[in-house]
Structure 1
Amino acid sequence: MSFKTILVPFEQHDLTNSILNTALLLARQFDSYIEGFALRVAIPTAFALGDVGPLPIPALEEEIAENEKRSQSLFENFMQEHGVPCGAATKSLSSAWLGNAPEGDYFVGSHGRVFDVIVLGRPGRDPRGPRMTTLEAALFESGRPVLIAPPSPPSQMGTNVLIAWNCSTEQARATALAMPILKRANRVIVLTVEGGAAVPGPTGQQLCRYLQLNEVAAKPLTVGLDGRLTGEVILFHAKALGCDLLIKGAYTQSRLRQMIFGGTTRYILSNAELPVLMAH
């Protein structure tokens, strides 16, 4: 597997530049094709009296159409400014815009099934920014990994990688899907948090052996909680080690449980300052 095809659902907000830069960093490593489309929420309707039924609001439809034009222009201008040919998919570095994409987050997951990775922004509290519903549609509906861009555009990615090992199926899958990046990395650390959120399974040392047999020079690191949350420990060590990418399985605990009680995935999604490759 390689990351030859990259999907970028496009919205205009403060993280747009970081999302595009994160996608481009990955694309340059693999000579990838980047496809963008305008991500839009479902159109509300106004109900008229009589037998005519529901009618779409013309002003809103016009605004959405204008927003898609602006999004396409921003996407294509970014690609042109960074030397990425725009207009058609090729086997070398290239890009294209998908017009008239269906509305709603579900399309992110369904269309994402025919791409190697989906690049999204880190969800936050700003209602005008990236939404958690979009990220979860990508994670749960596409069957593909999701690369989450940090708030600020990264300058490099994938040279110094941290794997947040918790022995889970989700983490094993995320690690396997990240293999093309891991094989190119200068350093790969497998982090185990003793006493942290984990499930029964292979140790970090066993994962390192698996990676080493696959030509990844991985080294184990075991640390304690020291009164902190698991997600807090992971991000602390990612920063302390100078890592430029975190590999994390998503939602080992259920989404509902994490929504109510919190969890490692939720903490990382709320606080990560580096790119995170996630898979469920």
Structure 2
Amino acid sequence: MKVILVPAEGHDDSEHALRMAAGVARRFAGRIECFALQMPPLVNLTWDPAGVAIMSGADLDHRRTREEAKRLAARIMSEEEVPLEPLPDESAGDDAREGAPSGMMTTGVAGMGAVSGPAWSWNDKTMAGDAFLGAYGRAFDLTVVCRPRPDGASITTLESALFESGGPILIAPPRRVEKTFGETIAVAWNGSSETARTIAFARPFLRAAKRVVVLADDGGLNDQPSGAMIRRRLAASGVPVELRTIAGGGIRSGETILKEAAALGADLLLKGAYTQSRLRQMIFGGATSQILAKAEIPVFMAH
């Protein structure tokens, strides 16, 4: 988890995502890149002076929003003692920047040089919306987003990072969490490829944890790997892992997963996202939708 992307947004929950990103950067000596998440303005297709005035006002509002987001990020990172570092110049190759001979590769993370400790930088990309977040996230190990709420982050922001980045997301609950979150991790194992992928992405967190508990319903997975096999997989890597079975198909209930995680004292939940289709979950409900609606602990997801 060396390169971390986190948008700064214009709602109260954004502070929690920024603080969580800082916590991840401190734990893994990572670099954070922040930007102001904004929706592009409507395109003015007329020569009406009034329309031009409206667009000029909208552009001014966007600039003001970006400055407010930048101040928020700077304040949080200062409070979290994560130093500012300028963005690298991506217009030149590493060889040119470092003066290396032609054909010789130089080392570093995202062009930032060797990582020796946490740092953050600000990307002043204008009109950077959900589509930018998803595509840009492909260059990062992790994207940190807020849990969607009616008066906070949008579900489209989360889903853009989840489906378009190709990597994992870390979801901040609508509250401030302990800096040491991730000491007790609950893994909701339902036999899906999405959850297997989530476990693979989460290796740094799993290895750093003091306790990992695999939640599984071994009686209902048919030919899919059992929870015992996942426990064996993690144990082989030195992860301090236990197995807890959930009866009656409870592993497919988001409310049951959250209840079990709370009973364990878990401060991080690993869950494969949308192992059923989004449309089906919109109509009938599903574990992912329930967790996104109610989780009060950080959630690590991949699809």
Unaligned runs of 5+ in 1: none
Matched length: 273
TM normalised by structure 2 equals 0.85
* 1:218 and 2:237 are equivalent in the alignment: no
Partners in 1 of 2:222 and 2:125 — Cα distance?
43
TM normalised by structure 1 equals 0.91
Percent identical pairs in the alignment equals 42
Q: CA deviation at 1:84?
A: 1.1
- Partner deviation per Cα, 1:189-235 (whole Å, 9 max, x = no partner): 00014688x68510000000011111112111002259897111100
Kindly indicate whether the alpha-carbon contact (under 8 Å) linking 1:157 and 1:244 is maintained by their aligned counterparts in 2: yes
- Could you say which structure has the larger radius of gyration? 2
Name the counterpart of 2:7.
Answer: 9
Q: Say if 1:193 and 1:272 are closer, same or farther in 2 by CA, change over 3 A.
A: farther
3-state SS of paired residue (1:125) = coil
Partners in 2 of 1:229 and 1:195 — Cα distance?
13
Name the counterpart of 1:130.
Answer: 153
Name the counterpart of 2:36.
Answer: 38
- Partner deviation per Cα, 1:236-262 (whole Å, 9 max, x = no partner): 011111100000100111111111211
- Partner deviation per Cα, 1:12-41 (whole Å, 9 max, x = no partner): 212022111211121111011011000011
- Partner deviation per Cα, 1:99-150 (whole Å, 9 max, x = no partner): 0244321111111011110000000122xx1111111111111111000001
Q: Say if 1:227 and 1:148 are closer, same or farther in 2 by CA, change over 3 A.
A: closer
Q: Say if 1:193 and 1:15 are closer, same or farther in 2 by CA, change over 3 A.
A: farther
Opposite residue 117 of structure 1, the aligned amino acid is L
Kindly indicate whether the alpha-carbon contact (under 8 Å) linking 2:231 and 2:241 is maintained by their aligned counterparts in 1: yes
Partners in 2 of 1:226 and 1:45 — Cα distance?
50
Partners in 1 of 2:282 and 2:31 — Cα distance?
35
Name the counterpart of 1:185.
Answer: 209
Partners in 1 of 2:276 and 2:249 — Cα distance?
22
Higher percent of residues as strand? 1
Taking only aligned residues, the RMSD between alpha carbons, in angstroms, comes to 2.1
Name the counterpart of 2:85.
Answer: 87
Q: 2:257 aligns with which of 234, 238, 261?
A: 234
Name the counterpart of 1:266.
Answer: 289
Unaligned runs of 5+ in 2: 87-111
Kindly indicate whether the alpha-carbon contact (under 8 Å) linking 1:159 and 1:184 is maintained by their aligned counterparts in 2: yes
* 1:146 and 2:146 are equivalent in the alignment: no
Partners in 2 of 1:226 and 1:142 — Cα distance?
31
* 1:117 and 2:115 are equivalent in the alignment: no
3-state SS of paired residue (2:34) = strand
Residue pairs, 1:51-130, within 5 angstroms: 57-88=55-86, 89=112, 91=115, 92-126=117-151, 129-130=152-153
